[in-house]
Structure formats: structure tokens, C-alpha cells
């Protein structure tokens, strides 16, 4: 069934509750879960009508499902994009769109500061498949001019993640989109850390937005999911090709959980931002902390750009305690913060990239990214920030 209502003029909190539609034929308040692998037809005339788009309908779960469709429409509304395709995880979404774009133009630019899984996909899949990679460093002066000079008109895409995982680098999206326009390449932005509540890459000039919906969109640490949003023509091709045939389809149950989680996304983001700010301020005033990376702090190098392109600074931050043993000891001494990868959950999480998410890299490779041995990454949850600060204080002074 097509969603006939127009939700575009609504504000994000209202969209999160109402957008996606359509009304359930039984007028159920919460969206129904269509937990089915396939769909039936009255006859082959109906098959023809559905396949030609003359009648609303679904054919097979890998190509679409009413519950995932509702979730995709909600993401499109929030990101202000034409269409969204969902995937089984963030990496399912990122790999599908990069394979799709590299098929025509196997030349893609990536920032050096990037989520480890995306980097591993580049190294283990894109490069061995013959894709030419242009690395750029958005922390260097004049990076945009240098990138414009280096890229050829054959560039398939420019990819970026902001704020970046785990070093919290903020990339100026308007600057990057002008480079993309100059070389005629689509700009793909991973908006996982910010969510559409805090940052709208498509409005800032990007062409495609991806998410690990596992994180803030789901918001409860109980599912894996991913999305790609962009022009309808591109998403239709992506759905038909990599969406259907690589098979990383979002399950209807996870789409249903996502719809449930997203009702409170704006409220949660507001609380994550407030909590992270308090934690960042505490850490930056503590004599035992070497450095704090949070774009909400006025001394942070990303503060100015983040203030202009984001509505809030998010719930993620990182800090360094200088040495490896101290970082491990402090993280292990925390009671409320749990040691875990992932982020965006109600529970505060802490991880030590050198021991966990980035342990495959050499110490030199980590240092080049700004991850020193005492570096810790934190996802500030929804607990009372004063309790979180007390927990950190005790662990730092123990």
C-alpha cells in the first residue's frame, strides 16, 4: 500500500510518531508486523499489475515488505530524501551502495578518519576488486583544494563520515559537497553518529546518506540494521541490483523494532547530547585526562563547523589517559559504563580501540589516526549524567 499522506511539513518529533503510514486497515495504533517471506496473488493478472506498479503490492521479502517499507519511508522523511532502502546492517548498506557506485566508476575518495568496518571493506573488497582509492585527511589545512586537484572526472563517489568514529573529526559537508560537484561525483555521508535529528547531510549538499540503524535509530541495542537514502531513481536501481541480489535484507521484525525505537529518537538524542556534554566537560577539567575529543567543547577543532552544520553535538566522545595500562584499568573500574563496542544504546558503553575495535591495526597506524595507546571511546547513554560523572570520577581516582 502506498502512503498517501504528506508528512513533509511536520517537525521531526511529529514525523517520528506519525510518518511512514499508511493507516492499518484494522486501525491498530502501532504498525503491524508482516512477518512473512512471500506474498500471494489472486491470479496472474494481479501479478502483472503489481509488477508494473499499477497496483500496490509486494512480491517477495528480499524485494520489499510492508513493515520495512514503513520504516524506509520514515527514514526518507527524516533525512529529507526521496527514497530509502533498508539493509540487514550498517555494513550491508555501506557495502551495497559502494559496490553499486564502484561498478560504473571504480575510483572512490575516502577520509582517513573512518569507521574500522568501512576501512576493512575498502581494504578487503574494494581494493582487491580493482577500485582506485583516494585517501584524504580532513584534519589538514587546504584538504578540500588538494582533493579537488587529485580527483578525476571518473570518480565514482566521495565518501565521508562526520563526526567520525572514533576520533570525532568533524568534516565540513558544504565544503566537501562543493568538491563533489566540481568533479561530478556523488557525495555519500555516513550519518550514524549524528542521526537526522542533529544533522541533515542531504540538505547540506550530499547526494546519499547511509546509516547503521543498529545504533541511535534503533536505540535499544537489540537489533542490526542499515539504510541508504537518496534520489528515487538511484535507490530503485540499488534495491533491484545490490538490495535484492546481495541479499542483505532487513528483517521485518527488526524494521518493526526500529519503528518502535524511532518514536523516541528526538527525545533520546536530546538526552544523549546533554549527557555527553556533561561528561566531556568533567573529563576536560580532570588533571588525569590527557585530551578530550567532543565537538561540543568550544576548544575542540570541530566545534565551529559542528555548530553550523549540526543541531546538537551528539552522544559520542573520546578521551585519552596517555598510557595503555591506565586506560584499561580505568575502563575496567567503571560500574555504569559497560565495556562493549557499538553505540547509541540506553546503556553507556566504553571501549579501548587498541584492545578491541582497532586491535588489527599496528600502533603506528592507530597513531596516524590520532588513536594513542591510552585512547578510550565512549557512547554516553541515557542514565542521569551526574551518576555517569561520579562513576568516571571514582574510576579515575581509584
Ligand X SMILES: Cc1ncc(COP(=O)(O)O)c(C=O)c1O
69 catalytic per annotation: no
The binding track of 150-169 with respect to ligand X, each residue x by CB under 6 A or -, is -----------x---x----
Q: Among 49, 62, 112, 150, which one carries the catalytic annotation?
A: 62
Reference 311, options 325, 299, 295; nearest CA is: 295
Tell whether residue 351 is a contact of ligand X (CB under 6 A): no
Q: Say which of 215, 328, 366, 377 is annotated catalytic.
A: 215
Is the CB of residue 271 less than 8 Å from the CB of residue 382? yes
Residue 212 sits in the site that holds ligand X (CB under 6 A): yes
DSSP 4-55: -S--TTS-HHHHHHHTT----TT--SSPP----SB---SSHHHHHHHHTTSS
Closest CA to 138 of 184, 165, 170, 168: 170
Q: Are strands 107-111 and 157-161 parallel, antiparallel or unpaired?
A: parallel
Closest approach of ligand X to the CB of residue 120, in Å: 10
Give 190 or 372: the residue with its C-beta nearer to ligand X: 190
**91 is an interface residue for ligand X by CB under 6 A:** yes
Decide if residue 318 touches ligand X (CB under 6 A): no
Return the range that interacts with ligand X (CB under 6 A); candidates 13-21, 87-95, 194-202, 241-249.
Answer: 87-95
Q: Which is nearer to ligand X, 238 or 395 (CB)?
A: 238
Scanning 186-194, 261-269, 328-336, 358-366 for contacts with ligand X by CB under 6 A, the matching segment is 186-194
What's the CA gap between 377 and 358, in Å, rounded? 11
Contact stretch for ligand X (CB under 6 A) within 66-74, 86-94, 104-112, 198-206 = 86-94
Q: Looking at 115, 119, 377, 391, which residue is catalytic?
A: 115
Q: By C-alpha distance, which of 335, 316, 314, 287 is closest to 376?
A: 316
Whether 372 is a known active-site residue: answer: no
Catalytic annotation present for 245:
no
Q: Is the peptide bond before 166 cis (omega within 30 degrees of 0)?
A: yes
Q: Which of 90, 230, 275, 296 binds ligand X (CB under 6 A)?
A: 90
Cα torsion 60, 61, 63, 66: sign: positive
Angle in degrees, CA 195, 232, 57, rounded to 5:
100
* 115 binds ligand X per the rule CB under 6 A: yes
Nearest to ligand X of 90, 295 (CB atom):
90
Query: What is the nearest approach in angstroms of ligand X to the Cβ of residue 377?
Result: 10
Instruction: Note if 391 is an active site residue.
Output: no
Site track for ligand X across 219-248, x = CB under 6 A:
-----x-x----------------------
Closest CA to 350 of 166, 112, 113: 166
Q: Give the range of 27-35, 188-196, 255-263, 319-327 binding ligand X by CB under 6 A.
A: 188-196
The helix-helix angle for 385-397 and 265-284 (nearest 10°) equals: 30
Residue 83 and residue 202 in contact, taking contact as beta carbons nearer than 8 Å? no
Largest CA distance in the chain: 74
Site string for ligand X, 272-311 (x = CB under 6 A): ----------------------------------------
Q: Which is nearer to ligand X, 90 or 266 (CB)?
A: 90
DSSP per-residue codes, 161-230:
ESSPTTT-PPP-HHHHHHHHHHHT--EEEE-TTTHHHH--TTTTT-SEEEEETTTTTT-SSS---EEEEE
What residues act catalytically? 62, 115, 190, 215
Interface residue list for ligand X (CB under 6 A): 89-91, 115, 117, 161, 165, 190, 192-193, 212, 214, 224, 226
Amino acid at each position: 500500500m502506498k502512503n498517501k499522506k504528506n508528512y513533509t511539513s511536520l517537525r521531526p518529533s511529529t514525523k517520528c510518531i506519525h510518518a511512514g503510514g499508511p493507516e492499518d486497515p484494522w486501525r491498530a495504533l502501532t504498525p503491524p508486523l508482516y512477518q512473512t517471506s512471500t506474498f500471494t496473488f489472486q491470479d496472474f493478472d494481479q501479478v502483472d499489475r503489481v509488477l508494473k506498479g499499477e497496483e500496490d503490492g509486494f512480491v517477495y521479502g528480499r524485494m520489499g515488505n510492508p513493515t520495512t517499507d514503513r520504516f524506509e519511508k520514515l527514514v526518507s522523511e527524516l533525512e529529507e530524501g526521496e527514497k530509502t532502502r533498508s539493509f540487514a546492517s550498517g555494513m550491508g548498506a555501506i557495502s551495497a551502495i559502494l559496490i553499486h557506485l564502484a561498478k560504473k566508476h571504480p575510483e572512490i575518495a575516502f577520509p582517513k578518519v573512518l569507521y574500522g568496518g568501512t576501512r576493512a571493506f575498502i581494504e578487503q573488497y574494494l581494493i582487491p576488486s580493482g577500485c582506485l582509492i583516494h585517501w584524504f585527511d580532513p584534519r589538514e589545512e587546504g584538504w578540500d583544494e588538494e582533493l579537488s586537484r587529485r580527483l578525476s572526472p571518473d570518480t565514482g563517489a566521495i565518501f565521508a563520515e562526520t563526526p567520525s568514529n572514533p576520533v570525532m573529526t568533524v568534516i565540513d559537508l558544504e565544503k566537501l559537497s562543493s568538491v563533489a560537484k566540481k568533479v561530478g561525483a556523488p557525495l555519500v555521508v555516513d550519518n550514524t553518529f549524528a542521526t537526522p535529528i542533529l544533522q541533515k547531510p542531504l540538505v547540506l549538499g550530499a547526494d546519499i546518506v547511509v546509516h547503521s540503524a543498529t545504533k541511535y535509530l534503533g536505540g535499544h541495542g537489540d537489533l542490526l540494521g542499515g539504510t541508504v537514502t537518496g534520489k528515487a531513481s538511484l535507490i530503485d536501481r540499488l534495491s533491484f541490483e545490490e538490495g535484492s541480489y546481495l541479499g542483505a535484507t532487513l528483517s521485518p521484525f527488526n524494521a518493526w523494532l526500529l519503528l518502535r525505537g524511532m518514536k523516541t529518537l528526538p527525545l533520546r538524542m536530546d538526552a544523549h547530547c546533554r549527557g555527553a556534554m556533561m561528561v566531556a566537560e568533567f573529563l576536560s577539567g580532570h588533571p588525569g585526562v590527557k585530551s578530550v575529543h567532543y565537538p561540543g567543547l568550544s576548544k575542540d577543532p570541530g566545534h565551529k563547523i559542528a555548530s553550523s552544520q549540526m543541531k546538537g553535538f551528539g552522544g559520542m566522545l573520546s578521551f585519552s589517559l596517555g598510557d595503555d595500562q591506565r586506560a584499561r584499568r580505568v575502563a575496567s573500574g567503571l560500574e555504569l559504563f559497560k565495556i562493549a563496542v557499538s553505540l547509541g544504546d540506553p546503556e553507556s558503553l566504553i571501549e579501548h580501540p587498541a584492545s578491541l575495535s582497532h586491535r588489527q591495526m599496528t600502533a603506528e597506524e592507530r597513531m596516524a589516526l590520532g588513536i594513542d595507546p591510552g585512547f578510550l571511546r565512549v557512547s554516553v547513554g541515557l542514565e542521569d549524567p551526574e551518576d555517569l560523572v561520579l562513576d568516571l570520577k571514582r574510576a579515575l581516582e581509584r
